[in-house]
Chain A
């Protein structure tokens, strides 16, 4: 499992300390199926998948200063396409997965075309409205999407049937994708996005094509959201309108914020926190959405810098 990290690090220019930490985290993560129950391995798989989704949102929110409330829809389009392609159209899981990511990228590029025209608070507003339109179509277009009942299909390839095998596959995917995103935001292109976040007008007067950069940033972020969505299709073997619903986008954003905006890898911490919370809450009550809403309000009021940022602030205060 450490292979991808050590091999790619030559290209990355990671500091040796960061490399050691990353390798340790991946080794620990890879060992998890040996100590956890199969139910908990399922949860860990979910954490990885949603961590990737939250990271894809963080590319825009943390590095381009644009918080998307429509990524759940991009994610869900991929899930829908993967389930439809393997279930109804009879394609192989891999072809279905590729089609799903492709569809998500296409949807993301349409979102991006419109969203780059807006700034400030209009951006979340517009992405939210676009995501809702996708949701409305998935809900109403019953012949294709199965409407409210959704669709079921055995998407998972035979080799990945066991919980641990699938977990390891997702972990490998998450490592590769995380690395790709990390490289993306540290590339000259990613630095331009940061420049746009800090001052759009300055970047424009320096001669950068701001809308084009945002368009590409959004589309790339959509690819990653699509990968997460495709993995989710394999994880769940089922898709319904709730996969593309606003709650999905909101959960992704909440995970991203809980992990810390602009921290990228914090997304996994946020995803773990929210998913563990969801499971604890769900074992006591059916009112998860209510708790999600309250969590959102509390984090916005008390810890908008995220759980990690909050802890860091508290500990540094204690040290002083």
Chain B
């Protein structure tokens, strides 16, 4: 694998991290498997694209995507998921229904063409990395992935909110009993996790482009990341993203048509030895 391909793998892993960390936050704390996460990614990408094209600002596109997806997340959590609380399977299937709805809605609004989010002037072109010419934008994605990782790390480990989230992962009832409004923490986590999907949509939309089945693809990768990394673990998502991102790139280089099989292998091996993932804990 050349340096170019290695960087491709790393930047894809960074994108996966941003998307899957939102997924695993919600999964870890609320015990909700949000299968609409892929659709939120795609929707975020489309909204970010529209905003970025209208205003000519990539940053505004990002803010728009995150705000809009957080709003959709609010409706999803407060409007629909509240009716099926406590029943994991019904939650899974309900979010799946929402995923179909959103995917089809996106097809109505934006049509079946593929879009690429315009990259801001500053991040266009390429630069030399250890002698290899590489697009700056993809390095920016890599940087964003690292930034989100550090941000989440600080949030979870060094703030009061993070302490509440971690406590909620371990024992939500105890947190509530000690006088904390855990519902609000839950809601915040859901909105924040959704917003990360929206941000991922914009970031990915600029180099993977947006098309009607992109949501299913990113959802598959996110599921693989979470299955490999384990539920609710930040480090797990990081390691899982790196593994899936690098393996996927390796697969595309070696067997371009069967790349999907390459992420299937480690998932299989891992499940045989650690059914809860690398960093998952039984609850």
CB-defined contacts of A67 to chain B, threshold 8 Å: 89, 93
Which stretch from A212-220, A245-253, A270-278 is at the chain B interface?
A: A245-253
* B4 interfacial contact with A, CB 8 Å: no
A129 touches B220 (CB 8 A): yes
Given A125-B33, A128-B35, A289-B104, decide whether A117 and B220 contact each other with a Cβ distance below 8 A.
no
Which stretch from B41-49, B172-180, B234-242, B263-271 is at the chain A interface?
A: B263-271
Q: Tell me which of B88, B94, B102, B261 contacts A301 (CB under 8 A).
A: B94
B100 touches A293 (CB 8 A): yes
* B122 interfacial contact with A, CB 8 Å: no
A293 touches B275 (CB 8 A): no
Given A125-B223, A129-B220, A132-B219, decide whether A142 and B257 contact each other with a Cβ distance below 8 A.
yes
Q: Size of chain B's interface in residues, with CB distance under 8 A? A: 47
Q: Tell me which of A247, A294, A301 contacts B101 (CB under 8 A).
A: A294
* B156 interfacial contact with A, CB 8 Å: no
Given A136-B217, A140-B259, decide whether A287 and B104 contact each other with a Cβ distance below 8 A.
yes
A273 to chain B, nearest CB (A): 16
B216 touches A132 (CB 8 A): yes
Q: Size of chain A's interface in residues, with CB distance under 8 A? A: 44
Q: Tell me which of B108, B227, B272 contacts A129 (CB under 8 A).
A: B227
B268 touches A140 (CB 8 A): no
* B98 interfacial contact with A, CB 8 Å: yes
CB-defined contacts of A257 to chain B, threshold 8 Å: 93
* Bound CA span A253–B261, Å: 25
* A188 interfacial contact with B, CB 8 Å: no
CB-defined contacts of B260 to chain A, threshold 8 Å: 132-133, 136-137, 140
* A295 interfacial contact with B, CB 8 Å: yes
Contact with B along A282-294 (1 / 0, CB 8 A): 0000010110111
Q: Tell me which of B80, B216, B220 contacts A297 (CB under 8 A).
A: B80
What's the dominant secondary structure at chain A's contact region? Answer: helix
B80 touches A301 (CB 8 A): yes
Closest to A257 in B: B93
* A189 interfacial contact with B, CB 8 Å: no
B261 touches A133 (CB 8 A): yes
B103 touches A289 (CB 8 A): yes
B118 to chain A, nearest CB (A): 27
Contact with B along A58-88 (1 / 0, CB 8 A): 0000000001010000000000000000000
CB-defined contacts of A207 to chain B, threshold 8 Å: none
* A319 interfacial contact with B, CB 8 Å: no
* CB within 8 Å of A: which B71-125 residues: 80, 83-84, 87-90, 92-94, 96-105, 108
* A173 interfacial contact with B, CB 8 Å: no
CB-defined contacts of A141 to chain B, threshold 8 Å: 257-258
Closest to A246 in B: B216
B264 touches A133 (CB 8 A): yes
Given A137-B261, A287-B104, decide whether A129 and B97 contact each other with a Cβ distance below 8 A.
no
**9 A-B pairs whose Cβ atoms sit less than 8 Å apart in the complex:** A121-B33, A125-B226, A136-B259, A137-B260, A290-B108, A296-B94, A297-B94, A300-B97, A301-B94
